[in-house]
Structure 1
Amino acid sequence: MSTPPTQADPAQLRAWLHGAARRDRLAFRALYEASAPRLYGLALRILGRRELAEEVLQESFVAIWHHAVDYESALSAPMTWMTAIVRNRAFDVLRHRRSTGEDDALDSAALASLADLAATPAERLQTSSEAQALADCMAALEARHREVIGMAFFHDLSYSDVANKLTLPLGTVKTWIRRSLARLHDCLSARGAA
């Protein structure tokens, strides 16, 4: 994991993600090779321990493989989407270790920090603009629809898990997510962020 991070072309990352959604192992391997060093660096910065960062990276790529079909290019750039998965998993590990008392030495400020420290200023500005556009479009959704989208995409829960947590029929959750994604796509397209 000592390879310096490379800047992969977002269009190429998107193509590899779509390939992974079709279960193309070569595309997934290329995606991994292009993005793993940077994502590992992010996990290491959050967790501060190599073994935890490696575990989070592995779990994140399993999630990326399983959820590549759910990736919506209109909602975020490929690296932004993958970074969110790694960041969420890393914070989950921090929370778990704190709640079980496994590691009191982990920096509590890391939980409050959501900035990708590996990003360049231009990437941070782009991510900030995309995040603001997404936040504005999310705010236009009905509260329950916002909730299911947040649970499914920002907390990486399966549709079944969302349905169980909210005690809703699975079909309802799927319909709300499908309609909400269409509304978000339209909103972001109208804002020029898609």
Structure 2
Amino acid sequence: MIAVDGFDYEAALAACARGEHAALRRIYDQDSRRLLGVALRIVRRRQVAEEVLHDAFLNIWTKAGSFDPARGAGRGWIYSVVRNQALSLVRSSERELPADEAMLDEFEAHASGGAGLDDAIALRQDMGRLHDCLVGLDAGKRDSILFAYVDGCSHSEIAERLQSPLGTVKAWIRRGLSALRECMG
């Protein structure tokens, strides 16, 4: 199946499967901007979306031989590789506890004997509880809180990033912090 603009995705994928680097470059030149947009809508940060796109193109290169034109269009397969790469990253990052340098330095100071191993373990447990509480919040509240307290964004910047009204963002932060206090007990 050939796209409206005349690009043959299936032939390009077959060429990738044969090890032709130029074919991967043609796919990149053809669709990288749109694919970056797909990744950006999922991960919401340009630098992360660029990393997703890089990793997705590595997957396209290594897995091009598994593409079966009988099961669907080449373009759809390429887009699904990018989408799946972005979703995998989002899912894996939900299990991670975001930490800034100050938090890591404090943890190292505790762990290196400054306050003792017991304090370091307690800090680690608190960080784990905070992570679990954050995961329990709905996406709007969690993202608003993380943008405010981790990225240092103003309410207006958060509203712009989340494409939500300013009042909604303020309510999400207020309600989210209340839920976190309750969860942390």
Query: What stretches of structure 1 of length at least 5 have no aligned partner?
Result: 1-5, 110-194
After superposition, where does 1:1-194 map in structure 2 within 5 Å?
Answer: 8-9=5-6, 12-102=8-98, 108=139
TM-score where L is the length of structure 1: 0.48
Name the structure, 1 or 2, with higher relative contact order (CA <8 Å, separation 6+). 1
In structure 2, give the amino acid aligned to 1:76.
G
How far apart are the structure 2 equivalents of 1:7 and 1:49? 30
1:33 deviates by 0.7
How far apart are the structure 2 equivalents of 1:77 and 1:28? 16
Query: What stretches of structure 2 of length at least 5 have no aligned partner?
Result: 100-133, 141-185
Which portions of structure 1, spanning 4 or more consecutive aligned residues, are displaced by more than 2 angstroms?
6-10, 101-105
Q: Residues 20 and 65 of structure 1 are in contact (CA less than 8 Å); yes or no, is this contact kept in structure 2? A: yes
TM-score where L is the length of structure 2: 0.50
1:7 deviates by 6.2
Q: Rate the CA distance shift 1:7–1:42 in 2: closer, same or farther, 3 A.
A: farther
Q: Which has the larger radius of gyration?
A: 2
How far apart are the structure 1 equivalents of 2:80 and 2:139? 19
Q: Deviations over 1:115-160 (max 9, x none)?
A: xxxxxxxxxxxxxxxxxxxxxxxxxxxxxxxxxxxxxxxxxxxxxx
1:102 deviates by 2.6
Is the partner of 2:69 in helix, strand or coil?
Answer: coil
Is the partner of 1:101 in helix, strand or coil?
Answer: coil
**Number of residue equivalences:** 102
Q: Rate the CA distance shift 1:82–1:8 in 2: closer, same or farther, 3 A.
A: farther
How far apart are the structure 2 equivalents of 1:79 and 1:61? 13
Q: Rate the CA distance shift 1:38–1:52 in 2: closer, same or farther, 3 A.
A: same
How far apart are the structure 1 equivalents of 2:13 and 2:5? 13
Q: Rate the CA distance shift 1:101–1:89 in 2: closer, same or farther, 3 A.
A: same
